[in-house]
Amino acid sequence: MIGMARERRLAEIFVEVADSLVEDFDVIDLLHRLSARCLELLDVSAAGILLADAQGELQIIAASDEHARLLELFALQHDQGPCVECYRSGAARANIDLTGAEATDGWPRFAARARETGYVMTHAIPLRLRNRVVGALNLFQTTPRRLGDGDIALAQALADVATIAILQQRTLEQSHVENSQLENALTSRILVEQVKGVLAERWNTSVDEAFAVFRSYARARHLRLSELAARIIEGDFDTAAIPAPAPAPTPAPSEDPRG
């Protein structure tokens, strides 16, 4: 029954993605949803998606949480890690033990930072279409459970869907169209990251919670994340219109048994 439920959920997710591939879909929101779906379907702890810009430089565009985003940013800043290698080679790297020699010798800084974050295993899946690689999907685990061949194939299928979403144009040979799609997505990602920080500081909450509220508000009103973020940054939208997240409840003081 568990397998059948997973297959039904997988079918629903691919229909969800297909429904998103309209002329003016929100790339940032779609890739964040795909990151979340990886956690749901593959039972991993975190996921992130990297894209290459027009110059071939990798940029982080989506992550399931702030810890994963910062780790991916660290990898890019130090130009090392399975995600960077996966993009350059176009080959998947699965079940990498972050405590083993492969990681500690090959990517010592990345492996150390990943372990500090709490991850013990990682996987890097290329975002590719035929022989074209545009980025990488990265999965992280806090437990040493290995992913089987079926799980890796599913991760690659999700990565392929993300690639098709990015390169949605039918005439993929037109490189200027591809570059335009990537540049627009990367520019949108920067605006969204800025707004996440602004709202987190304004509401005195975590970046992840601020983004969840911002995204929920935008989706409920059929607004693109990038457009709403641009309006906020430009001062054309009053963030007071977005309901602030409820503060965490304060524990009640314990009663003094002495009365």
Q: Are 193 and 133 in a shared domain? A: no
Of 12, 32, 73, 28, nearest to 184 (Cα)?
A: 28
Amino acid making up residue 52: A
- The CB density around residue 107, as the number of other CB atoms within 10 Å, is 24
Q: What are 165-216's pLDDT values in tens digits?
A: 777 643 444 554 455 656 667 777 788 889 999 999 999 999 999 999 998 9
Report the pLDDT value the prediction gives residue 245, as an integer from 0 to 100.
87
Residue 100 domain-assigned?
yes
Q: Are 158 and 137 in contact (CB under 8 A)?
A: yes
Residue 143 domain-assigned?
yes
- For the stretch 219-230, what's the b/e string if a residue is b when 16 or more beta carbons lie within 10 angstroms of its beta carbon? eeeebbbbebbb
Q: Are 128 and 226 in a shared domain? A: no
User: What number is the average pLDDT over the span 104-122?
Assistant: 95
Q: Are 29 and 97 in a shared domain? A: yes
Q: Could you tell me the CATH number of the domain that includes residue 228?
A: 1.10.10
Q: Are 69 and 152 in a shared domain? A: yes
The range of the structural domain enclosing residue 36 comes to: 2-170
Q: What are 146-168's pLDDT values in tens digits?
A: 999 999 999 998 888 888 877 76
Of 46, 208, 35, 49, nearest to 120 (Cα)?
A: 46
Q: Could you tell me the CATH number of the domain that includes residue 29?
A: 3.30.450.40
Whether residue 253 has pLDDT greater than 80: no
Of 201, 204, 202, 228, nearest to 214 (Cα)?
A: 228
Q: Are 58 and 161 in a shared domain? A: yes
Q: Are 70 and 109 in a shared domain? A: yes
Alpha helices in the chain (DSSP H): 2-20, 27-42, 66-78, 82-89, 101-106, 108-117, 149-166, 175-203, 207-220, 225-234
Q: Can you tell me the distance from the alpha carbon of 214 to that of 233, in angstroms, rounded to the nearest whole number?
A: 13
Q: Are 44 and 122 in a shared domain? A: yes
Q: Are 203 and 150 in a shared domain? A: no
Q: Are 163 and 192 in a shared domain? A: no
Q: Are 166 and 127 in contact (CB under 8 A)?
A: yes
Q: Are 124 and 218 in a shared domain? A: no
Q: Are 149 and 58 in a shared domain? A: yes
Total structural domains within the chain: 2
